[in-house]
Amino acid sequence: MESYLESIKKQFTYYKHLGEQTMVQTSDEKLTWQYNEDSNSIGTIVKHLWGNMLSRWTDFLNADGEKTWRERDTEFENDLTTRAEILEKWEEGWACLFNAINHLTPDNLEDIIYIRNQGHTVVEALNRQLAHYASHVGQIIFLGKMANTGSWKSLSIPKGNSQQFNAEKFAQPKYKSHFTDDYLENKKGRE
């Protein structure tokens, strides 16, 4: 179960980096752009993730994940106006998440926690939140691509490069690693 905890941390880190790489490519103005009134901007999605993360991960093992102080409906108001505000919420939410999961041990994984009074094992809660955050990071990436038409730098295998990418992978001997290791290592090289 130690490998599960390491894997889930790497996956959360991976999605955090995908969101960050999208925001790096997106102008300040486009961070708050909405396709229409019914859609969310990147900033609004970040604000929602922030609210969810603070609620779910504060006192994770002891208190219900839907805190009484959370104001979920206000998370969808497009009122963050600067990159600094958006990034502050982004970092605060992820810091809360990582602070909670870095304190988990394999002994915690079958513990029961509650989200809106519904019991989850810690594993179920981690998987639930990973899927939730991945879906929203996917929305952030989609909005980033729309905002950066013609100048988008792919965050995975660029269009038309699959054969070359696969040829390089299959030219290597078989090895065991987490799927995020290559991405996160390449990201460090880009910084």
pLDDT, residue 188, reads 52
Residue 184 has pLDDT above 80, yes or no: no
Tokens of 37: 């009134």
Average pLDDT over the chain reads 93
Domain housing 36: 2-153
Mean pLDDT for 104-122 is 97
pLDDT, residue 182, reads 76
Residue 100 has pLDDT above 50, yes or no: yes
Tens digit of each residue's pLDDT (9 = 90 or more) over 16-69: 999 999 999 999 999 999 999 999 999 999 999 999 999 999 999 999 999 999
Within a domain: 39: yes
Residues of 128-165 as b/e, b for ≥16 C-beta within 10 angstroms?
ebbeebeebbebbbebbeebeeeebeebeeeeeeeeee
The CATH number of whichever domain residue 104 belongs to comes to 1.20.120.450
pTM above 0.85, yes or no: yes
pLDDT, residue 105, reads 96
Residues of 88-113 as b/e, b for ≥16 C-beta within 10 angstroms?
ebbeebbebbbebbeebeeebbeeeb
Residue 186 has pLDDT above 70, yes or no: no
Within a domain: 191: no
Q: pLDDT band at residue 158, thresholds of 50, 70 and 90?
A: confident
Within a domain: 41: yes
Q: One-letter amino acid identity for 9? A: K
Within a domain: 62: yes
Tens digit of each residue's pLDDT (9 = 90 or more) over 68-77: 999 999 999 9
Within a domain: 113: yes
Residues in the chain: 191
pLDDT, residue 138, reads 98
Tokens of 84: 């600094």
Backbone φ and ψ for 119, nearest 5 degrees, come out as -75, 140
pLDDT, residue 170, reads 93
pLDDT, residue 178, reads 84
pLDDT, residue 23, reads 98
Provide the number of structural domains found in the chain. 1
Within a domain: 169: no
Q: Give yes or no for a contact between 47 and 169, defined as CB atoms under 8 angstroms apart.
A: no
Show Cβ contacts of residue 91 under 8 Å, excluding neighbours closer than 6 positions: none
Within a domain: 11: yes
Within a domain: 64: yes
Element (H, E) at 118: strand 118-121
